[in-house]
Structure 1
Amino acid sequence: MTTPDSTDQVVPQALNEERRQEPRIAVNWRAAIMFKAAKGPLRVFGYVRDISLSGMRVECDQTIATTQPVHIMIEIPSKDPQYETDVIQVHAIIRNSILSQNMYRMGLQITDFVGDAKLVIMRRIQRRNSQS
């Protein structure tokens, strides 16, 4: 396991990558993705690998086959052990999912923020950008 925030950094854009409206930062945050399936509610665990105010990339060992919005709980570790971990929640739509090196890599578009999730993400992005 990496140290908290050790991978928070601005993600450079590839030459042929589409232009994103929001800057992304690389992260290594645990996540639980909850969604409705035919058998009832399901939960898949994974890691957020990069995030912006409009979307994120999540890796997990299971695919999520749904066109319905998903609910995501994200655990954001504190750099300082005396502070608690933040847990934020967002709603998102899975835009793509591919199998890559035994993990499913999903691109998600954030559609709604729960509570102060938007502010927490914005502060992390601003902190990373000011350190670059």
Structure 2
Amino acid sequence: MSDSRSNPRSKVSWRAAILLAPGNIVAAKILDFTMAGIQLQCAHVLKEGQTYQIMMEVPSKRDASQRTQVVCKATVRYNILSGNEYRSGMKYFDFAPEHLLLLQSWAGAPVTME
């Protein structure tokens, strides 16, 4: 079975956090990463179409012990109930320009910021 995505997908296991509302931050885990989006797992259902601020803890490809906190915005495209947690597909954007090379190293393809 082939993956027809326009952006290569990387299976990852990164810690993350989602700002649901001011003062309400929940833990999450990034499962899949592309330069177009992420799939994350979280105990809370996220509202489809809603944009959240998230933080991804992205390791260096050269040294996994070196991690960078990448803060961005992400819009929920879908939710799937998986056991007692939810998997959400999200399109992320609005990250700091200095994180572009780190993100590209995981995606394997250069892109420009929107």
**TM-score, length basis structure 1:** 0.69
Q: Residue in 1 aligned with 2:96?
A: 114
Q: 1:76 to 1:111 in 2, by over 3 A?
A: closer
1:66 Cα offset (Å): 6.3
Query: For structure 1, which runs of at least 5 residues remain unmatched after alignment?
Result: 1-11, 14-18, 128-132
What one-letter code is carried by the residue in structure 2 that aligns with 1:50? D
- In the alignment, is residue 21 of structure 1 matched against residue 3 of structure 2? no
Query: Residues 48 and 79 of structure 2 are in contact (CA less than 8 Å); yes or no, is this contact kept in structure 1?
Result: no
Residues 47 and 76 of structure 2 are in contact (CA less than 8 Å); yes or no, is this contact kept in structure 1?
A: no
Aligned pair 1:80/2:79, yes or no?
no
Contact 1:89 1:117 in 2 (8 A): no
Sequence identity percentage: 30
Q: Deviations over 1:23-53 (max 9, x none)?
A: 11110000001133xxx44212110001111
What amino acid maps onto 2:20 in structure 1?
F
Following superposition, the deviation at residue 75 of structure 1 comes to 0.8
CA contact (8 A) 1:29 1:48 kept: yes
**2:38 counterpart (43, 46, 56):** 56
TM-score for the superposition, normalised by structure 2: 0.78
Q: Structure 2 counterpart of 1:23, which letter? A: P
Matched, 1:34 2:38: no
Structure 2 regions of 5+ residues with no counterpart? 110-114
Once superposed, what is the RMSD of the aligned Cα atoms?
A: 2.3
Aligned residues: 107
Deviation string 1:65-123 (CA, Å, 9 cap, x unpaired) is 36431111111234637x53211122110011121122100000123222423321101
Q: Does 1:100 align with 2:82?
A: yes
The higher radius of gyration belongs to 1
> Which SS does the other structure have where 2:88 is aligned?
strand
Q: 2:99 & 2:69 partners in 1: Cα distance?
A: 8
Query: Do the aligned partners of 1:88 and 1:116 also contact (CA within 8 Å) in 2?
Result: no
